[in-house]
Amino acid sequence: MGIIRKERSFKSGFFYLLVVLVLTAAAFLPSLSNGFVDFDDPSYVINNTLIRSFSPANLDRIFRSAFVGCYCPLAVISYSAEYRLFGLNAFFYHLTNYLLHLSVTAAVFFFIYKLSASRRAAFIVSVLFGIHPMHVESVAWISERKDLLCALFYILALISYLRYLDIKRRRHYILSILYFVLALFSKPMAVTVPLVLILLDHFCGRDLLSIRSLLEKAPFFIASAVFTVINISFQSASGATGLVATPGVKIYFLLKAIPFYLAKIFAPVNLSAMYLYHNINAAHSAEVKYYLAVLALLLLAVIFFGRRSKEAIFGTLFFLMTVLPVLKIVPAGDCFAADRYMYIPSIGVFYLAAVFFGRLLESKFGIARWGAVFLLSAVIIILASLTWQRCGVWKDTETLYMDVLKRYPDRAPLYNDLGAHFAERGDLDKAIRCFGIALAFYPDYKAAKENLASTMEDKRLRAVREEGEPAFKARLEGAKDAGEKVKLLNEMGLAEGQSNDIDKAIALFREAAELDPSYAESYNNLGFSYYLKGDVAGAEGYFRKALELDPGHKNAKRNLDFILSHKEDAERVVKK
């Protein structure tokens, strides 16, 4: 007897659901103490000027914009609501993710129960979904709000469609379309919903080729096509699809993706926030035969179970259909895989696990039944403990980067980015060490060279300020000529600006400009100081003055270009 069976009432189903939610809540509890991280959080929240106002004009811009190459307006609107209520208090952003994950887990429970009429199946699938370590990335990373919203509306769309198939009320069909559109506005990965609806038709014994069935799917496929085009255009515009790779490298990672994900689901160890593309050597090429073997076994399983077990075919095809958008058929970004990509597809694998455990629990042999109970209990304890630990990895930027560097200890860009993080927070010594390590691995790394030089200059300016005003005045009095005095005044102004004493910095830059009105750098520094003070028009005027004196002044030109291209955003930020 299979796991699919009819049950007359939900009865103790809420107890099963309560157990699932308690276990999930406990496993992800450490995520609530985490902060923001430099992985996209600045783009989505911290530096995102569009979330600073809940105005109709801003909402319109959100719906017309992509963020980090992804079209996800509902997620950004949720950040805007949180910013209005809580500012940049990271706890509340994490709390929202935490509650959304619990909601998605509950939706998975009801979806599987509606599909199978089995509380046991619903419990097994939802508890594995709720506590799996691969889902930490989607929950503990504030920027992955889009994953959670997409999954919630995705599952609600499937539940509504099942209700439509059950009682034939058109409002459930319309609700399914509505939830689907909301999922698409949350994250484009929802484009696979139409394929899963066809799978549900097959599971429920419906004629897939009937005119009615085909017409019902038409709105879903049209919406999927539209949102696919929208997202690809945004990704192309952002350069996310700009990875240069040989055909051999592309084929290798395409074949590796599914076996890689399955291995991580069944053995979620050595997880990482990044699984980077790498060069292919002879050893890697030899692995291809194993990947082909796994893919061949999956194909044979689909063929074998196609007429024998609708549960097995559903779980397998659900996984394969929902994983399609993240297989990087068109390579995008630096990573060939990501834990977050398994948030929805893992449901199919967990359904297969529920079928397996269900068969064992219905065995005639007591040892098999008790063995299944022991195994499932052990799996739940292990997964929950791994998830608890994994939440700590996302605590802050340094912890996260250090975890990634365990897997990729020789990646210069990672050290450069970590160095930039330290530099922004004023830990210049750590920043200098990180830039130095990056250059040790890649001596011609231009960004690391520039960052190292800039950070060394910041450290020098900090030392200048720490000398104190008497020492500075002594240096100023000992200057040989007006030109040297002007440079010293600018140097001290920069030091004061670095310490956030903008008014004192402006006074020093003005003194320098009065001493030598032809020195362009004084006006560039004045422009930047006025921008920091919130006077965008004044900043623009000083940058133009610097360029008038020195048309080749690179910093002044770059600063003016930034002011002109981001004038509206800049004014909004400084007014705030």
Report the pLDDT value the prediction gives residue 1, as an integer from 0 to 100: 31
Out of 6-20, 267-281, 365-379, 403-417, least confident range: 6-20
pLDDT in tens, 508-524: 888 888 888 999 988 99
CATH topology of domain 468-575: 1.25.40
DSSP for 496-555? Answer: HHHTT-HHHHHHHHHHHHHH-TT-HHHHHHHHHHHHHHT-HHHHHHHHHHHHHH-TT-HH
Out of 120-129, 160-169, 484-493, least confident range: 484-493
Please state the rounded mean pLDDT for residues 252-260.
87
Please state the rounded mean pLDDT for residues 320-349.
87
Report the pLDDT value the prediction gives residue 461, as an integer from 0 to 100: 75
Residues forming a β-bridge with 275: 337
Report the pLDDT value the prediction gives residue 570, as an integer from 0 to 100: 47
Report the pLDDT value the prediction gives residue 245, as an integer from 0 to 100: 59
CB neighbourhood size of 54 (10 A) = 13
Please state the rounded mean pLDDT for residues 82-104.
96
- The pTM for the full model equals 0.82
**CA 171/CA 160 separation, integer angstroms:** 9
| Choice between 453 and 481, residue whose per-residue pLDDT is larger | 453
Contacts for 544 with CB less than 8 Å, ≥ 6 apart? 560
Please state the rounded mean pLDDT for residues 126-147.
96
Is the per-residue pLDDT at 10 higher than 70? no
Q: Give the phi and the psi of residue 67 in degrees, each rounded to 5.
A: -125, 125
pLDDT band with cut points at 50, 70 and 90 for residue 238: low
Report the pLDDT value the prediction gives residue 102, as an integer from 0 to 100: 98
**CA 383/CA 391 separation, integer angstroms:** 12
Contacts for 547 with CB less than 8 Å, ≥ 6 apart? 520, 553, 556, 557, 560
**CA 511/CA 489 separation, integer angstroms:** 7
CB neighbourhood size of 217 (10 A) = 17
Write down the number of H helices and E strands in the chain: 27, 2
Is the per-residue pLDDT at 326 higher than 90? no
DSSP for 392-403? Answer: HHTSSHHHHHHH
Give me the torsion for CA of 276, 385, 93, 179, rounded to 10°. Answer: 80
Identify the sign of the CA torsion 278, 36, 389, 435.
Answer: positive
Q: Which two tokens mark 23?
A: 């276990």
Contact 136, 394 (CB under 8 A): yes
Name the strand (E) or helix (H) holding 406. helix 397-407
**CA 141/CA 65 separation, integer angstroms:** 21
User: Could you tell me what percent of the chain has a pLDDT over 70?
Assistant: 92
Please state the rounded mean pLDDT for residues 389-408.
93
DSSP state for residue 29 in the 8-state scheme: G
End-to-end Cα spacing for the chain: 64
Alpha helices in 187-242 (DSSP H): 193-203, 211-238
Is the per-residue pLDDT at 166 higher than 80? yes
**CA 239/CA 261 separation, integer angstroms:** 26
Identify the sign of the CA torsion 3, 8, 12, 15.
Answer: positive
Is the per-residue pLDDT at 7 higher than 50? no
CB burial of 505-522 (b: ≥16 within 10 Å; e: otherwise) equals: bbebbbbbbeeeeebbbb
pLDDT in tens, 419-477: 999 988 888 889 999 999 999 988 888 999 988 988 887 887 777 767 666 776 777 77
pLDDT band with cut points at 50, 70 and 90 for residue 576: very low
Report the pLDDT value the prediction gives residue 209, as an integer from 0 to 100: 74
Average of per-residue pLDDT values in the chain: 86
pLDDT band with cut points at 50, 70 and 90 for residue 241: low
Give the C-alpha distances (Å, rounded to integers) separating 108 from 39, 122, 190, 282, 297: 28, 8, 15, 43, 27
pLDDT band with cut points at 50, 70 and 90 for residue 332: low
Long-range CB contact pairs, 208-216, < 8 A, 24+: 216/173
CB neighbourhood size of 337 (10 A) = 22
Is the per-residue pLDDT at 370 higher than 70? yes
Report the pLDDT value the prediction gives residue 568, as an integer from 0 to 100: 54
Report the pLDDT value the prediction gives residue 361, as an integer from 0 to 100: 79
Q: Which two tokens mark 369?
A: 């039944």
Report the pLDDT value the prediction gives residue 279, as an integer from 0 to 100: 77
pLDDT band with cut points at 50, 70 and 90 for residue 13: confident
DSSP state for residue 480 in the 8-state scheme: S
Residues present in the chain in total: 576
Please state the rounded mean pLDDT for residues 501-513.
86
Q: Which two tokens mark 187?
A: 């994250």
Report the pLDDT value the prediction gives residue 306, as an integer from 0 to 100: 65
Report the pLDDT value the prediction gives residue 6, as an integer from 0 to 100: 45
Out of 260-269, 326-335, 514-523, least confident range: 326-335
